[in-house]
Structures are given as structure tokens and as C-alpha cells.
């Protein structure tokens, strides 16, 4: 989970650095792919641009749900440890009675430590998952605005096809 969080955080940090530049980062990649595949049909070009932007947005979405699932499972694993620790405690009571505190402490300790570890993993994981989700949504909204603006410009301006560009060269 933390590997995915750190990986996603680095990708989002890259995007934040590119925020000031309209042609920064992924926008350049999208436009390069768009220019390579562009046709003379404005409607087709608009759909192509939307498809390229959607592909980039999907790549931003990757692994976010996995982070949430892993963070949500951590307390359940802690609860499982609590149950096994309490089972150990009850086994100690059945063998030695309540007089042997050392035997009881082992099972209780197991129960408390696993609960604590489950929460230590889950709480920051959920927090970071939500931070990453918000930042990803912000980037996706900017990409949609870019695609909408560029798509409007495409339909109002004729373009050269690849074959026309090659003839000019």
C-alpha cells in the first residue's frame, strides 16, 4: 500500500510542478500524439483528442482504489489478530486458571498489538488515499477543461493532415 501511495504521490508532484505551464508534461505528450494522428475531419479530431485525454485520465486513476482497499483491510487484519489473541487468553485460562498472569498477558498483548498495528496502517493510508484522490480529481478537471478548450478550437480551425504536412516538408 505504501509503495502505491509513494508512487502516486510522486506522479502527482510532477503534475503540480507542471501546473504553471499550459504545454507542460502530459499535455505535451497528448498534443504530440494528437498531432501524429490528426486528420482533416474536425469532428474526428475532437473525438481523437477526447480519447487521448481519457486515456491519460485513466492512467492517473490507476491504483487509487487499491490503496483504499488495502487501507480498509488493515483494521480487519488487526481484528483477526485480536480474536486470535483472545483465543490464546481463554486457552491460558482453561489450562492455568486466572492465577497465572503471565499466561494471560501473552494473549492480551497479542490482541492489543495487532489492533494497534491495524489502525496505524489504516488511518494514514485512508488519509493519504483521500489526499491523492482530491489531487487526481483536480488534475483530471484541468485536463477536461484543456480538452474542451482545445476541442472547441479544433472545430473552428482547419488543420493539415499528416500527408499534407509531409508534402510541405
At a CB cut-off of 8 Å and minimum separation 6, what does 91 contact?
A: 107
For the chain, the straight-line distance linking the first and the last C-alpha, in angstroms and rounded, comes to 50
DSSP H stretches of helix in the chain: 2-17, 25-37, 42-61, 64-96, 101-156, 162-168
CB neighbour burial string for 112-124, b if at least 16 within 10 angstroms, e if fewer: eebbeebeebbee
pTM: 0.70
The pLDDT tens digits for 54-108 are 888 888 888 999 999 999 999 999 999 999 999 999 998 888 888 888 888 988 9
- pLDDT cut 70: percent of the chain above it: 86
At a CB cut-off of 8 Å and minimum separation 6, what does 23 contact?
A: 31
At a CB cut-off of 8 Å and minimum separation 6, what does 22 contact?
A: 146
In which band, very low, low, confident or very high, does the pLDDT at 23 lie, cut at 50, 70 and 90?
Answer: very low
CA within 13 Å, CB half, 91: 8
pLDDT of residue 109: 92
What one-character DSSP code corresponds to residue 94? H
Amino acid at each position: 500500500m505504501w509503495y502505491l501511495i509513494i508512487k502516486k504521490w510522486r506522479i502527482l508532484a510532477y503534475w503540480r510542478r507542471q501546473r504553471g505551464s499550459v504545454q507542460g508534461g502530459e499535455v505535451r505528450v497528448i498534443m504530440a500524439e494528437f498531432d501524429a494522428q490528426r486528420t482533416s475531419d474536425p469532428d474526428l479530431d475532437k473525438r481523437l483528442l477526447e480519447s487521448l485525454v481519457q486515456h491519460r485520465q485513466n492512467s492517473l486513476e490507476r491504483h487509487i482504489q487499491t490503496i483504499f482497499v488495502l487501507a480498509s483491510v488493515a483494521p480487519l487484519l488487526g481484528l483477526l489478530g485480536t480474536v486470535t489473541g483472545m483465543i490464546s487468553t481463554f486457552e491460558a485460562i482453561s489450562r492455568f486458571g486466572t492465577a497465572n498472569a503471565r499466561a494471560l498477558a501473552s494473549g492480551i498483548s497479542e490482541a492489543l498489538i495487532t489492533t494497534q498495528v491495524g489502525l496505524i496502517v489504516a488511518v494514514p493510508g485512508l488519509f493519504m488515499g483521500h489526499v491523492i484522490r482530491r489531487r487526481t480529481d483536480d488534475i483530471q478537471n484541468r485536463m477536461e477543461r484543456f480538452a474542451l478548450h482545445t476541442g472547441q478550437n479544433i472545430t473552428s480551425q482547419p488543420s493539415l493532415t499528416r500527408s499534407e504536412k509531409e508534402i510541405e516538408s
